[in-house]
Every structure is written in C-alpha cells, then in structure tokens.
C-alpha cells in the first residue's frame, strides 16, 4: 500500500477530486503517482477557471474553484493563503511513499480544554490533529 505525503506538514494528502470514502491509500505506487498528477491538474484547472472569470470581467470569487485557487495562489500571510498548500500547483511538496515507510507519526500537545478549561496533554496521530478526534479542538465536544 502507498500514500501521498505532504512534505511540509508530514500529513497524508487527500486528493481534492477524490471522494472521501475512498481514503488516502493506494494499492500501487503507480496509482499514487496518478493521484499526484490528478491533484496537480485539479489546481491548474482552478487557476484557469479563476483567470477566465477575471477575463470576463467578473470577480475572482465567482469561479467554482475559488477556494482551491486561494490555497495555491496566495502567500500564507495573505488573506486565505495556507502554507501547507503552496506547492500543490506543481506537486513539489508531494511525495509518494509506502505505508510502512510512513509509519505512525504522533504529536504530543498541551493546551486548554475547550470543554472545561483544564490543562490537558494529548498524544494523537498527526493526521487527527484539528479534527473531531482532537480533544483540544472545539468540535470534539459538540453534542
């Protein structure tokens, strides 16, 4: 089994055009490389769509792919730019590797619990940080 790894964050990359229920693992290395190619083409399509809207005299946000465009076009310090996605337009931050080589990276964090305000220390899989599985994330406690 193979995965696509974001080399900046160390997390598994999920293709933007792939359904979430298919997951992030691929049976062969060639399939994972094809996933990198699909990701690059998706973000190039987003840039093209936004440039067509601008050429037609419409604002950037009228494009269907505006949010994907924001991720790859703006610097992290600018509005909406994210540092972990700047290299997706050319695939420079994506790396194909086997699941065994990826291992099971974990992160230990200490913070204030959004539920009761107590200091807690949690150790999580790196891919669960900021999700509903993270006790330091507010969405963990919604009912």
Domain ranges of the chain: 2-102, 106-141
Angstrom distances, CA of residue 97 to CA of 6, 27, 90:
11, 12, 18
Read off the pLDDT of residues 108-132 as tens digits, 9 standing for 90 and up: 989 888 888 889 899 998 888 878 8
Query: How many beta carbons lie within 10 A of that of residue 107, not counting itself?
Result: 14
Query: Mean pLDDT lowest for which of 18-22, 53-57, 84-88, 131-135?
Result: 84-88
Tell whether pTM > 0.85: no
Q: For residue 2, give every residue at least 6 positions away whose Cβ sits within 8 Å of its Cβ, in sequence order, or none.
A: 25, 26, 27, 28, 29, 31, 32, 96, 97, 98, 99
Tokens of 32: 């994972």
Read off the pLDDT of residues 56-106 as tens digits, 9 standing for 90 and up: 999 988 999 998 888 888 766 665 555 667 778 888 889 999 999 998 889
What is the distance between the alpha carbons of residues 5 and 75, in angstroms, rounded to a whole number?
Answer: 21
Q: Residues in the chain, how many?
A: 143
Helix (H) or strand (E) run with residue 71 in it: helix 66-73
pLDDT band (50, 70, 90) for residue 17: confident
Query: How many beta carbons lie within 10 A of that of residue 75, not counting itself?
Result: 10
- Give the angle subtended at the CA of 71 by the CAs of 32 and 28, to the nearest 5°: 5
């Amino acid at each position: 089994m193979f995965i696509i790894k974001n080399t900046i964050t160390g997390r598994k990359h999920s293709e933007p055009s792939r359904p979430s229920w298919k997951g992030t693992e691929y049976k062969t290395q060639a399939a994972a490389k094809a996933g990198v190619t699909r990701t690059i083409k998706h973000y190039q399509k987003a840039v093209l769509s936004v440039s067509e809207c601008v050429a037609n005299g419409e604002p950037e946000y009228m494009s269907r792919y505006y949010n994907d465009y924001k991720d790859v076009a703006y610097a992290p310090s600018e509005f909406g730019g994210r540092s972990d996605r700047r290299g997706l337009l050319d695939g420079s931050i994506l790396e194909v590797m086997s699941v065994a080589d990826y291992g099971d990276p974990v992160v230990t964090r200490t913070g204030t619990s959004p539920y009761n305000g107590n200091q807690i220390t949690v150790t999580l899989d790196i891919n669960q940080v900021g999700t509903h599985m993270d006790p330091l994330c507010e969405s963990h406690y919604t009912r």
